[in-house]
Structure 1
Amino acid sequence: MPVEQPFNVYREQLSSLYHGLALWKPNPEGLYDQVAIGDVGYVSEGVFIRMFNVTLPWDDVSNRTFGIPDRYDFLNLDNVPIRHENFVKLEYYSRHVSRMENTNNVLAASPDQ
């Protein structure tokens, strides 16, 4: 049986918590600051790849990473209520995972080692 990729396991296990799509790498290092409202793109190997943002004009310089998108009227969010929610700082995990302390500093090994 093939081993599932870690980013897929992470997404599948945390999706049951209903806090959105869990990204393996939530910060797109070097591409742009952070995932934002209005971003249009796709997820590849646990990373959201932003193609453009509909809250910016179609010809905005930040919308040119993958070429210039077709012309569109940008989405104005000035009068749209946006709910901000901060997650409580605790450990989020699926119901199939438990936590164990590694007091003896035992190293994990794969079955073929």
Structure 2
Amino acid sequence: MLTVKLRRGFAALLIGTFFSHTSLAVESKDPIILTLHDWTGQLINTELMGRILENMGYNVKYQQADYIAQFAGLESGDLHIAMEMWETTGKQAMEARLKTGDTVDLGETGMNAI
């Protein structure tokens, strides 16, 4: 079961990487700031997304951030992308941000914690 889910997740990343080499115009050279946390899965997902964005021509910066404090950084614009949200600890903060219309939930990564 886990193997199938991992394969789907990696397949999605490979497809994303393939399409990231298309000649789409980069909207800005300002860095896109991705949050880093202290667990392996988040670090891997963030690194993969950063590389996809770099392959598309974007300038990427990584910023270590406390999990709960990141919501203030996302709200202020000091942080731009958080690759993982846990419903058990960040659901209320995420729902509050989504209501403002300034935050977008791009869906699941396909990776599941066990």
The structure showing larger relative contact order (alpha-carbon pairs under 8 Å, at least 6 residues apart) is 2
Instruction: Give TM-score, length-normalised by structure 1.
Output: 0.21
Structure ID, larger Rg: 1
**Greater helix proportion:** 2
**How does the TM-score come out when normalised to structure 2?**
0.21
